[in-house]
Amino acid sequence: MIPILILAAGTSSRMRGGDKLLEEVRGEPLLRLQAQRALRTGHPVYVALAPASDARAAAIADLDVMLLTIPEATEGMSGTMRGAVAKLPEAGAFMMFLGDLVALETEDLERVFKAREDEPDQLIWRGATATGKPGHPIIFDASLRANFAKLTGDTGGEALVNPLRAQTFLVRFEDDRARLDLDTPEEWAAWRASLAEK
């Protein structure tokens, strides 16, 4: 089984006091919905949280997920990834995605799992927009695990993945959901308005 890591340790700093991972989507807090989407794949699910993330932890407390408290989250995304990957169980690969990508579905995760099976000579398999911009979810081959220990700053894993573009297989989704995150109250309002128009 390939562990799935949901990165959910960010501060929602642009939400002006709100928490984007607790925003309601389809009647559920977003983080809970993301955990449920991951669980439906049948793979084990891990959720990376910053210390003192009591509200986020409570939103998924009854789900069959493993909560990982990541002190390094105070350093930013790279710290979160470095600390969380170190706590994952040994496996041939691992998947990760950002907890705030509101439009990802279980089927998207499954398509990236399938890509790994179909393209076994690659090292990274990841979702992308319809125009080919790389996004999430991302599967990393286990051989890359040690590289995460070297991550620093708040740039996430770009320093790791950029040199490996030739060994990365992109799974293009039909729209921009591989990169669609909502960081401000205005972005949330606009997204909800767009749904209401459909």
Q: Which two tokens stand for residue 93?
A: 């690969």
Residue 123: the pLDDT is 97
- What is the model's pTM? 0.94
Q: How many CA atoms within 13 Å lie on the side-chain side of 153? A: 6
* Average per-residue pLDDT for the chain: 92
CATH number corresponding to 4-197: 3.90.550.10
Say whether 91 sits in a helix, a strand or coil: coil
Whole-number Cα distances in Å, 31 to 77, 142, 183:
17, 26, 14
154: confidence class by pLDDT, cuts 50, 70, 90: low
pLDDT at position 92 over 90: yes
Q: Over the stretch 41-88, which tens digit does the pLDDT of each residue have? A: 999 999 999 998 899 999 999 999 999 999 989 888 889 999 999 999
**What are the extents of the domains in the chain?**
4-197
- Give me the residues paired with residue 184 across strands: none
| Rounded-to-10 torsion of CA 27, 30, 36, 41 | 130
pLDDT at position 120 over 70: yes
What's the rounded Cα separation, in Å, for the pair 92 and 51? 29
